[in-house]
Homo-oligomer: A and B are copies of this chain.
Amino acid sequence: MMMAKRSNDLAEALRRVPLFSKVEPDDVVAMAEHVRELHVERGEILFQKGDQPHGFYILLEGRITLAFPSEQGTERILEVIKPGESFGEALMFLGQPYPIFSQAGVDSRVLDIPEEAITNLLDKDCRLAKRMLAGISIRLHELISNLEACSMRSSAQRVACMLQHAAPSAGTQEYDVQLPAAKHIVASQLNLTPETFSRVLHVLTESGLIEVSGRVIKVLNAEGLRKLQL
């Protein structure tokens, strides 16, 4: 009884994930049998760099960061996963050890989808395959942007770029940006030290492009930010 109930809850949760929204309800229920819900506490590591993938994950609640480790703990955060998003699919398909580690930023609930569960479904439902293809393609595109930012742009350009992406709509000249996390987290995602990030913010403020108060950044002149990029 308890088992059936829990399995139903999982099926319900799975159905709400965009990836599975078009999958036959019966198939979702069948898959739910193999899916576990994990609770990951703040600071806990979900998988380490070097671990062997056995499936992929969907974040239900909380926040999970994917990052490169480094000897002195000066990790570089690649991405912050938010509820509803999946992660680890590509590494599952490859079957190679994780090149990154994942850690909960706050207490989180995660679905663990084992490889068999999904590969079985893939054989039946080509639409799911297309959706996964689309999902992974988005990731790939983000990585390309990240790499471009990293190799073609200065620190100020990367910050300006981030502020532009946060614009409510293209063309707005003035708007507020609420940073999604502590400044050192944002800095790490931009591949900057917290010190450099702080200094860049200072310079942009001096030139009248933005105003900073805590985690809220008021963009005063979007056009000016755009010009920085060239």
Contact = CB atoms under 8 A, between A and B. Distances in A.
Contacts of A123: 126
Interface stretch (A31-39, A139-147, A173-181, A197-205): A139-147
Given A76-B152, A126-B126, A93 B133 contact: yes
A19 to B, nearest CB: 13
A207 to B, nearest CB: 21
Contacts of A130: 93, 119, 122, 129
A93 B137 contact: yes
The DSSP consensus for interface residues of chain A is helix
Interface stretch (A10-18, A94-102, A159-167, A211-219): A94-102
A230 B191 CA distance: 20
Interface residues of A, number: 41
A63 to B, nearest CB: 20
A124 B230 CA distance: 45
Contact of A99 (B96, B122, B144, B230): B144
A116 B139 CA distance: 23
B90 A136 contact: yes
Interface string A4-29: 00000000000000000000000000
Given A99-B144, A129-B129, A134 B76 contact: no
Interface in A69-109: 70-71, 76, 78, 89-91, 93-94, 96, 99-100
Given A122-B130, A123-B126, A136-B133, A151 B191 contact: yes
Contacts of A126: 122-126, 129
A152 B94 contact: no
